[in-house]
Structure 1
Amino acid sequence: MSLLDHAIWWQVYPLGACGAPIHDRDGADAGHRLRRLDAWLDYAIELGCSGLLLGPIFASSSHGYDTLDYFRIDARLGDDADFDEFMSQCRARGLSVMLDGVFNHVGSAHPLVAESQAQGGGLVQIRDGQPAPWEGHGDLALLDHRNPAVADLVVEVMLHWLRRGIAGWRLDVAYAVPPEFWREVLSRVRAEFPEALFLGEVIHGDYEAIVHEGTLDSVTQYELWKGIWSSIADSNFWELAWALERHQEFSEEFVPQTFVGNHDVTRIASEVGDAGAALAAAVLFTVPGMPSIYYGDEQGFQGEKGHGRDADAPLRPALPASPAELGADGWWLYRLYQQLIGLRRRNAWIARGKLEVLAKDNEWLEYVVRGEAHELHVRLELGDVPSAVVSVDGSQSFNWGASQ
């Protein structure tokens, strides 16, 4: 069975979660911080997750998306030995690991940039003698995906880390890379690793075309993410109904990656409050797709995306040394996540089920998911006391809110 059918990911931004300095790095480069995540592996398992979706771990200038070396673990996190031991700890628990591959651009200090400038072109795009920036970011230089050597490099990087035990790749900014590039690269990688999973980050664009033309397995379902938090915040389940109908259209073509939070967006609990976050979780685990939980959302972590150099810092906090040091006020939501994930794992058919919206109004919504001769029914209500009731094959499986 493919990871698309059963994986539930705990997404972690390692540089932040492990307490590494992002910008002011003087005297703090060396460390074995990656191993701090060892203490959280059982926590993820007990939550119900089966895999870790890791943010950037390769050598970079600051936040990880400005890569300096695809083959070297960032010194702030450790070294190859730390990575190998971490992977051993994950394998011992049956946890799959997906890495974040930033193959649209590199950091401006990457050796390829100076090399391409000196040659007037190369693996990095050069315009008027300068590296072409990505979306105006002068510290990020676009790779030249027309150059066959770039495809060779990406294939080499992917195979290197797949051979060391990872299960697949999250492809950063996948929507900005030509689909024919992905098609060539992934066909070459799948020749050795046919079961590897490739998840494209797609914030906007034609999801189906990007999946099919690029031969990706899945893409990030930002439309549904927006529909979930916005409909709860605005007491407008008409918006969520529309997003769910769109989600079903996508689900007929591929298995989308579903989420209510990640390293780039304001925390769900900050958007809609604790009760709203519980409703959002109920949607996340009862619709088709491959769900991921951004670390701390299951505890109601707060954090709003800001502006400027440190805009993402509130979204990417350091974890305490162990789960035992978490505050007491978030464990009720953790237990609610456990219930919902347990329901999802007992009904893995939901991942490829067919969703139908039955009825809706501003403050309530009903939908059903059908598959493999089973039926899951969900009723969500807002109002003074939000609630979510889920039944599987006519038997109530989850009840939270008004009746509690």
Structure 2
Amino acid sequence: MGKWYEEAVFYHMYPIGMSGAPRRNEQEKITHRFPMLESWLPHIAQLGCTAIYIGPLFESTSHGYDTKDYKLVDKRLGDNVDFCRFVKKAHDLNLKVVVDGVFNHTGREFFAFQDIQKNRESSVYCSWYRGLNFGWNSPYDDGFSYEAWRNCFELVNLNLQERAVRDYLLDVIGFWMDEFGIDGIRLDCADCLDVSFMEEMRKFTDSKKEDFWLMGEVIHGDYSRYVGAHMLNSVTNYELHKGLYSGHNDHNYFEIAHTIRRQFEANGGIYRGLKLYSFVDNHDVDRIASKLKVPGHIFPVYTLLYTLPGIPSIYYGSEWGILGRKEGGNDEPLRPAIDIGEALVENADSKILEWVRTLGRIHQEQDACAYGRYQELFLTNRQYAFARILGDGGIVVAVNNDEQEACVTIREPLPGKSYQNLITEEAVRAENGLLSLKLGPNESCILAMA
């Protein structure tokens, strides 16, 4: 009905962590870990996912965001040929591939910064970085200072007002599109990028590939500043992310409903018409199973992730509920190595995994999950129901965050329709214009109406 990314379900891979690669890139030789990453692809497709966000991939010094070489795949993972093969295998399974674009800053081992270290004021790259000051010093005792991302001095802020920097980065984007056939880029720290650079990037990618997807990492602020016909296609919906776990922890569905009304309500929603990127965890925040006070809440959380407006994303391993919390500023517990063969055997009976697969199937089969107009139907602290209406049909969703059984009676969103429970496949009859639904503890109900 629309672009592929508007109806996608994403699977988020953090390759350095999940493959067990060293956290510092100090090796001379290439280690070919992409076969290990390729072994995840059938599992991802079986979840009902249709796209992969994998990154960071650029050759870097440590965690992947301190870029050393923008045109090389990180040698801890493999080489460029390996990644070409990975993309081909993903495409053969009808999985789109989106990579990280780290364009706000480089690492200290990037060639332009090293030239400044060597040639100081005489370097032709002095204009490539922001805040360069040869009368000051850096924490690394460079004999000059520079602007760093959030004062993390291993990340040196690029000057995106400099024409040569823009031309270089656009060339990098074109290289990844042409060399690997990627389908999109997730822009790291998009809220730090110059608006005019994002506009130029969109014009460039549209000219090369009309359905290329640009998604920005934005945590705070007005998401509509970054998304539009001449800007990015989407940004991360951190506001909904917060509501999805805290609305359950506080047994307060009003928080989630308020967020959706504010963002997507047909009359007055500030982001209506936009397709934001939804998630419940990622490589930067605690795992959803570690955030929830009631373990069973993970089921309605995932129901809402897949059925509320947005482009849903699953972070690797969270489909069977693995745990992980930050330890101070240490992100490593969020990014563990996993052997997918062993994990699938160990989690063969995982109810969470089974539910995520069910939701993936429903999302693929029901266009209303991606395109349906949102209509709130019922709301209390512990029960919540809504419809996604598309044409003369759609879906009805009801969730219960209580540890007790609940009965929910709602008025039909479209009178006179027939209803089928998409989980049990049973018919559900409306009486006198009302639907009566019985929900067990932490249970969800999804009805198709036609």
The normalised TM-score by structure 2 is 0.83
Instruction: Provide, for residues 306-353 of structure 1, a one-character-per-residue CA deviation record: whole Å limited to 9, x for no partner.
Output: 213xx1111111111525655237622111011111111111232132
TM-superposed deviation, 1:138: 0.8
Equivalent position to 1:367, from 378, 382, 386: 386
Structure-2 separation of matches of 1:198 and 1:27: 32
Which structure carries more helix by proportion?
A: 1
More off after superposition, 35-44 vs 383-392: 383-392
TM-superposed deviation, 1:357: 2.3
Structure-2 separation of matches of 1:275 and 1:387: 15
Q: Does 1:140 align with 2:155?
A: yes
Structure-2 separation of matches of 1:63 and 1:388: 48
TM-superposed deviation, 1:287: 1.2
Q: Which residue of 2 aligns with 1:7?
A: 8
SS at match of 2:307: coil
Q: Which residue of 1 aligns with 2:300?
A: 279
Letter in 2 for 1:128: N
Q: Structure 1 residues 287, 388: CA separation in 2 closer, same or farther (over 3 Å shift)?
A: farther
Letter in 2 for 1:279: P
Q: Structure 1 residues 377, 74: CA separation in 2 closer, same or farther (over 3 Å shift)?
A: same
Q: Which residue of 2 aligns with 1:121?
A: 126
Kept in 1: contact 2:224–2:271 (CA 8 A)? no
Structure-1 separation of matches of 2:418 and 2:114: 62
SS at match of 1:97: strand
Structure-2 separation of matches of 1:360 and 1:324: 38
SS at match of 1:138: strand
Q: Which residue of 2 aligns with 1:289?
A: 310
TM-superposed deviation, 1:213: 8.2
Q: Structure 1 residues 329, 195: CA separation in 2 closer, same or farther (over 3 Å shift)?
A: closer
* Identity of matched residues, %: 31
Instruction: Provide, for residues 12-67 of structure 1, a one-character-per-residue CA deviation record: whole Å limited to 9, x for no partner.
Output: 000001110113x5558631112211111100111111111102011001000111
Instruction: Provide, for residues 122-171 of structure 1, a one-character-per-residue CA deviation record: whole Å limited to 9, x for no partner.
Output: 22223323221111101100010110112111211111111121101001
Q: Structure 1 residues 131, 263: CA separation in 2 closer, same or farther (over 3 Å shift)?
A: same
Structure-1 separation of matches of 2:86 and 2:166: 29
Equivalent position to 2:332, from 270, 294, 313: 313
Q: Does 1:351 align with 2:370?
A: yes
Q: Which residue of 1 aligns with 2:258?
A: 242
More off after superposition, 379-388 vs 327-336: 379-388
Q: Which residue of 2 aligns with 1:201?
A: 217
Kept in 2: contact 1:264–1:312 (CA 8 A)? yes
Instruction: Provide, for residues 344-399 of structure 1, a one-character-per-residue CA deviation record: whole Å limited to 9, x for no partner.
Output: 11112321322122332221222222122223222221222488999996322237
TM-superposed deviation, 1:401: 4.3
Equivalent position to 2:244, from 193, 215, 228: 228
Structure-2 separation of matches of 1:381 and 1:57: 40
Q: Which residue of 2 aligns with 1:382?
A: 401
Structure-2 separation of matches of 1:386 and 1:208: 40
SS at match of 2:126: coil
Letter in 2 for 1:201: E
Runs of 4+ aligned structure 1 residues displaced above 4 Å come to 25-29, 323-326, 385-393
Q: Structure 1 residues 368, 28: CA separation in 2 closer, same or farther (over 3 Å shift)?
A: farther
RMSD: 2.4
Equivalent position to 2:422, from 376, 392, 397: 397
Kept in 1: contact 2:30–2:79 (CA 8 A)? no
Kept in 2: contact 1:244–1:357 (CA 8 A)? no
Q: Which residue of 2 aligns with 1:19?
A: 20
The normalised TM-score by structure 1 is 0.92
Q: Which residue of 1 aligns with 2:202?
A: 186
TM-superposed deviation, 1:121: 2.2
Q: Which residue of 1 aligns with 2:448?
A: none
Q: Structure 1 residues 204, 283: CA separation in 2 closer, same or farther (over 3 Å shift)?
A: same
Instruction: Provide, for residues 183-212 of structure 1, a one-character-per-residue CA deviation record: whole Å limited to 9, x for no partner.
Output: 012212221112101111111111011113
Structure-2 separation of matches of 1:106 and 1:388: 55
Q: Structure 1 residues 132, 334: CA separation in 2 closer, same or farther (over 3 Å shift)?
A: same
SS at match of 1:322: helix
SS at match of 2:226: helix
Gaps of 5+ in 2: 135-144, 425-438, 445-450
Structure-2 separation of matches of 1:300 and 1:7: 22
Q: Which residue of 1 aligns with 2:172?
A: 157
TM-superposed deviation, 1:275: 1.2
